[in-house]
């Protein structure tokens, strides 16, 4: 009997994580096998979704509302494939980047558990399941944050832990409210629910929990330190993938439930604008390369929330798709950028931005990858980031919401400014005392950031098929 790709993508990493923990010597092999098997399952799933629109499986034959059912539509498959592809490349990078034996031993089980949680989120159809999955993600993500074992990393990891648990508990409280009100937890029950005060309170609690987990300004306080102090592959996973899970749940919930009122939507947009401005200022002030990249994540999350607000105001599936596109683009580009930053730090020996141009060592491939990823994050054509930003601004302009256009443009200009600080450091040679040594040949670790950065830019050319794929199974509630 062939294994259902839905079930494979959930259980391969789970069993892989256990096996990798039990057999630390074979951890890397087991980890790669699990990730590769998911990379094989996702295209199979995509084919099914292309044929049928949406596929679902009731685990163990128990139908909802009591049982747990898994469902995949265009949006979930897009997120699954982004996660699988980014995960595979980061895994390849990790083979080379993790030098310490202890780090190698614990990286694989944690990363596979993280993958289980992520895939679980993308396939879940009920809110309690989502709660369990975000806790799985949180525990694995905290483990990855503190993997380097330095004092800063452990301190940042603990802050992250508090924020994560609090976010999840707010979510759980919201789940309690919803269950008290309608006695159901599945999305179908949520859509059918009568709007009421307790329902709104429950949904509001869940959304606040998710805002905390996705680090929207001013709840971003835990993110920069946690992402900047982790080892490079862990940073790439945390910034590229982990925050996406919370964003995805936010997107799902907000499209499944009755549209929240205008004030709330404007508030979310305003917080997004705050993230874009404040994150931009902090990125301009950051002294270390990885910290700058982490602040740029805060900015990008703000931008995605502006897209959510824009979509909520218009109630248009086009804008939801712009938001989803921005999520995908950021995942690919940011993972590439963090890996590249890690390579630069390894080769140069430090990541102080001011001194980058003094270094005689120039890891050219990593610098090139960093620049390409920056192109996508700034939003220059033809990158995926450009398409996302463009459809966001196009929609805002057409609807006459000029303030969102202004904020997006300011954010873009600031991102040009802060990435230029780094790029100027790469390109200036006049302050080097010793002869410049370019990194000779290329290491396996250079391949992962390069492929990620190149695909972040070139996926923009495939934007049309991606957009139409996102629509399969009508994840945005727009029935024909």
Partner 1 sequence: MTPDTIYGMTGIAVFAIGLAGALCAQDRLRRMLALKLCSVGAGFLLVVAAWRRPPDVPDPVPHALVITGIVVMVSATAVALALIRRLQTLEAEDAD
Tell me how far, at minimum, the Cβ of 100 lies from partner 1, in Å.
Answer: 16
Tell me how far, at minimum, the Cβ of 67 lies from partner 1, in Å.
Answer: 11
Strand partners, 69: 58
Q: Residue 211 or residue 450: which is nearer to partner 1 going by CB? A: 211
Nearest to 86 by CA among 233, 222, 199: 233
Q: Residue 126 or residue 351: which is nearer to partner 1 going by CB? A: 126
What is residue 55's three-state secondary structure? strand
Which H or E run includes 57?
Answer: strand 55-58
Angle (CA) 298 274 406, round 5° = 105
Tell me how far, at minimum, the Cβ of 18 lies from partner 1, in Å.
Answer: 15
Tell me how far, at minimum, the Cβ of 137 lies from partner 1, in Å.
Answer: 12
Tell me how far, at minimum, the Cβ of 223 lies from partner 1, in Å.
Answer: 17
Q: Residue 99 or residue 151: which is nearer to partner 1 going by CB? A: 151
> CA 155, CA 373: separation in Å to the nearest integer?
29
Nearest to 431 by CA among 360, 344, 351: 360
Q: Residue 18 or residue 33: which is nearer to partner 1 going by CB? A: 18
Q: Residue 33 or residue 132: which is nearer to partner 1 going by CB? A: 132
Q: Dihedrals φ, ψ of 376, to 5°? A: -70, -40
Angle (CA) 389 394 397, round 5° = 125
> CA 142, CA 154: separation in Å to the nearest integer?
9
Strand partners, 438: 362
Classify residue 124 as left (phi > 0), alpha (psi -120 to 50) or beta. Answer: beta
Q: Residue 146 or residue 271: which is nearer to partner 1 going by CB? A: 146
Q: How many CB atoms lie within 10 A of CB 176?
A: 13
Tell me how far, at minimum, the Cβ of 166 lies from partner 1, in Å.
Answer: 6
> CA 223, CA 239: separation in Å to the nearest integer?
9
Verify cis geometry, omega within 30 degrees of 0, for the bond prior to 105.
no
Q: Residue 138 or residue 304: which is nearer to partner 1 going by CB? A: 138
Q: Which residues of this protein are in contact with partner 1, per CB under 8 A?
A: 65-66, 128, 131-132, 135, 138-139, 142-143, 146, 151, 154-155, 157-158, 161-162, 165-166, 168-169, 172-173, 175-177, 179-180, 183
Tell me how far, at minimum, the Cβ of 249 lies from partner 1, in Å.
Answer: 16
């Amino acid at each position: 009997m062939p294994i259902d790709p839905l079930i494979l993508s959930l259980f391969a990493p789970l069993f892989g994580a256990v096996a990798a923990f039990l057999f630390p010597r074979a951890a890397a092999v087991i980890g790669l096998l699990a990730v590769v098997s998911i990379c094989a399952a996702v295209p199979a799933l995509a084919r099914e979704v292309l044929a049928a629109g949406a596929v679902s499986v009731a685990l163990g034959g128990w139908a909802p509302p009591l049982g747990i059912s898994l469902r995949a539509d265009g949006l979930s498959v897009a997120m699954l494939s982004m996660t699988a592809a980014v995960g595979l490349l980061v895994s390849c990078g990790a083979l080379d980047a993790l030098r310490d034996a202890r780090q190698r031993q614990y990286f694989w089980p944690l990363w596979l558990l993280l993958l289980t949680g992520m895939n679980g989120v993308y396939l879940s159809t009920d809110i309690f399941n989502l709660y369990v999955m975000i806790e799985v993600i949180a525990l694995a993500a905290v483990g990855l944050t503190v993997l380097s074992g330095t004092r800063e990393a452990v301190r940042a990891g603990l802050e992250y832990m508090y924020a994560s648990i609090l976010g999840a508990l707010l979510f759980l409280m919201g789940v309690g409210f919803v269950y008290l009100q309608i006695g159901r937890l599945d999305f179908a029950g949520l859509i059918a629910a009568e709007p009421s005060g307790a329902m709104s309170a429950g949904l509001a609690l869940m959304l606040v929990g998710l805002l905390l987990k996705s680090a929207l300004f001013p709840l971003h306080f835990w993110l920069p330190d946690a992402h900047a102090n982790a080892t490079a592959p862990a940073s790439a996973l945390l910034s590229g993938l982990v925050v996406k899970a919370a964003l995805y749940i936010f997107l799902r919930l907000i499209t499944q439930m009755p549209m929240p009122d205008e004030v709330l939507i404007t508030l979310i947009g305003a917080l997004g604008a705050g993230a874009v401005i404040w994150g931009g200022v902090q990125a301009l002030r950051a002294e270390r390369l990885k910290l700058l990249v982490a602040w740029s994540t805060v900015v990008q999350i703000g931008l995605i929330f502006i897209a959510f607000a824009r979509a909520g105001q218009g109630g248009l599936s086009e804008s939801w798709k712009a938001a989803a596109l921005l999520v995908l683009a950021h995942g690919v580009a940011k993972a590439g950028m963090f890996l590249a930053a890690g390579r630069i730090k390894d080769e140069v020996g430090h990541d102080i931005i001011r001194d980058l141009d003094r270094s005689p060592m120039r890891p050219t491939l990593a610098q090139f990858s960093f620049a390409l990823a920056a192109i996508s994050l700034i939003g220059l054509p033809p990158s995926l980031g450009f398409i996302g930003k463009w459809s966001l601004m196009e929609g805002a302009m057409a609807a006459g919401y000029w303030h969102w256009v202004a904020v997006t443009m300011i954010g873009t200009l600031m991102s040009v400014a802060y990435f230029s600080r780094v790029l100027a450091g790469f390109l200036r040679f006049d302050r080097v005392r010793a002869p410049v040594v370019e990194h000779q040949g290329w290491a396996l670790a250079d391949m992962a950031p390069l492929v990620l950065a190149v695909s972040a830019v070139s996926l923009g050319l495939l934007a049309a098929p991606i957009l139409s794929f996102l629509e399969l199974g009508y994840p945005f509630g727009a029935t024909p």
